[in-house]
Every structure is written in structure tokens, then in C-alpha cells.
Amino acid sequence: MSWTLALLLLGVALFVFRLYNKRTAGRCRCTARMDGKVVIVTGANTGIGREAARDLAARGARVILACRDLKKADAARDDIVASTGNPNVLIRAVDLLSLRSVRDFCAGVLRSEDRLDVLVNNAGVGGLPNELTEDGLVMGMQANHFGPFLLTCLLVGLLKKTPGSRIVTVSSAAHPFGFFDVDNMNCEKSFNGFYLYCNSKLCNILMTLYLAEKLRGTGVTTNCLHPGAVKTDIFRHVPSELLKSFVSASVGLFFKDAHMGAQTIIHLAVSEEGARVTGKYFVDLQEQVPGGVRPGLAEEVWRRSEEYVKLAEDERPFRG
């Protein structure tokens, strides 16, 4: 096959992908207000987290932007307040690569808030190096799973006290490629960046499944989602400048913008379906069956995660 024909076929494939991505992109049509409600969105200083926070602020919610980069968070808050007219948008520092930071953040939330209506676990990253954090965890796994896992555990009590509260976790369609091995959950034994990302996104789904079972009957719903192929800077840490440039050019041409990528988050946070359905995986506002899930795996991943984050007895949301 000639290079000319190969490039032509690639161009056609990318055009079809772009057309499919646009035609199947769901848009949240729910007009529900969020006045008097409290929402936390992690990673809200950029991308789909920022757009989800903007929408929820426009509905009247008190929105807490949980961010590591406070300079970007300041800019995001000013932008959201200006575009929505809602001044009740706050910044709280949290670095998911530090379990101490996560614990400090949650302690602050429990001191300042008497309710939590929606927790959006949005923050995530790809392309981090094969290095350990101060907690002895591989950076990518801590950013995408162990940090959000601890944060969720510490806030479950407040969610249970709030009628009709919800947990919304951003996963990825890459999750079935994790080929999950509980004995290599921290990805230390054989590091592979792609495998690690997929593995962490499968963990997001397994966490959701376990939470849904344990929270059944409490009024708290928990769901996860794939936001679609979205133009964000999630792979800003990829070490190869050539690869980074290729990814940036590709997503700019063919992927959804952040506003459209946030639609499923918003749907699960505000819609009647998000209040009724729990333990499900959504893509473009539609429920789908996740891959890579086998019986008993969610419970095993939860138990191992408790060990990795050194969850104290009084921090465990489900005891016994």
C-alpha cells in the first residue's frame, strides 16, 4: 500500500470518527436548579471539570473547586463567577498525589460544610513518569485512583447525611484494556504507562460498583462515566514532545470540546436518572455495560485500596 493511499485512508477514518463523535455526543437537557446545594468538583481548574463546575454554578449551587494548581483555580473561579453571576464559587487546595493533602482537604470540608449534595471525582491525568509519591504509590495510580478513593471514603459520611446526594466519577472507555491484576495493583512490578492509565480507569468503575452496593438504601447514588474523546490537557505530562504535539493536533481537530465532554457529568449530577440509578457506567448520557469486571473484583480492589492508602479504622465508611 502506497503512503498516499495510507494517508488518504487515515484521513477518511479520522473524518468518520469526527462525524460519529459529533453525532453521538449527548447533551444534558435537564433544567433542574441546584440552589442551596453544595457541590465539589476535583480538577475543576481546566477541561471538563471546569465546564461541569460552570454549569452547576449557573444552576445556583455552592461549588467548591478542588484543585492543586491554585493559580489556574483562581482564573477558573473568576471566569465561572463572571459567566454565571454566581459568586458562591470557592477554591479549596488538594493534591491527589499527597494523601496528607487529601486528608487535610476533607477535614476542611467537614468543618465548613454541613451538607454535600454532589461529589464529582473528575481529576485525572495520563503520561506521568514511573515514579513513587511520598506515600510510596506510583504517581499515575495515586492521581487517578488512590487519591480519589481516599477522598471519597472520607466524604461518604457527609454524603449520607445529605438527602439525595450523588457521587459522579469520571472513568474512561480505555478501562477494559487494564487486564487487572490485584497483585500488581500499584503497577510497580511491570510499569507500562498505557496499562497503568487503563488500570486506574477500571479501578474507578470498580470503586463505583462497590460503593453502589454498600450505599444501597441510603439515598446516595454513585455512577461513573466515559466523557468521550475530549480536547483537554489530560496528557500534558507525556514526556515526548513529538508525541505530545501529535496528540494535541489530533484532539484539536477531531475530539469534542470540554463543554460537550462535560455533559454526562452534568446529567448524572442533576437529572432525575442520576438520582434513581446507581452503580452504572454511562457514555454520552446512555447507560452501557463496562468491560473488565468479574465477580468479586470490586470488593478485592476496595480492600486492597484501603491498605494502600492506610485507611484508619475511624476513616472507614463501611465497617465490619
HSE-CB at 21 with a 13 A cutoff on CA atoms is 20
**21: Cβ contacts below 8 Å, ≥ 6 apart:** 228, 229, 254, 255, 256
Amino acid, single-letter form, for residue 280? K
Provide φ and ψ at 301, rounded to 5°: -65, -40
Query: From the candidates 195, 197, 281, 308, which is the catalytic residue?
Result: 197
H or E element at residue 145: none
Joined together, the cell numbers standing for residue 268 give 448524572
Is there a catalytic annotation at residue 197? yes
Tell me the H-state helices in the chain: 3-23, 47-58, 70-84, 99-112, 139-141, 147-161, 193-214, 241-254, 258-261, 263-270, 272-276, 297-308
From CA 168, how far away is CA 97, in angstroms rounded? 20
Q: Kindly state the DSSP code that residue 138 receives in the 8-state scheme.
A: B
From CA 51, how far away is CA 46, in angstroms rounded? 8
Q: What HEC string does 239-305 produce?
A: CCHHHHHHHHHHHHHHCECHHHHCHHHHHHHHCHHHHHCCCCEEECCEEECCCCCCCCHHHHHHHHH
Amino acid, single-letter form, for residue 46? T
H or E element at residue 97: none
Q: Kindly state the DSSP code that residue 62 receives in the 8-state scheme.
A: E
User: Annotated active-site positions, please?
Assistant: 197
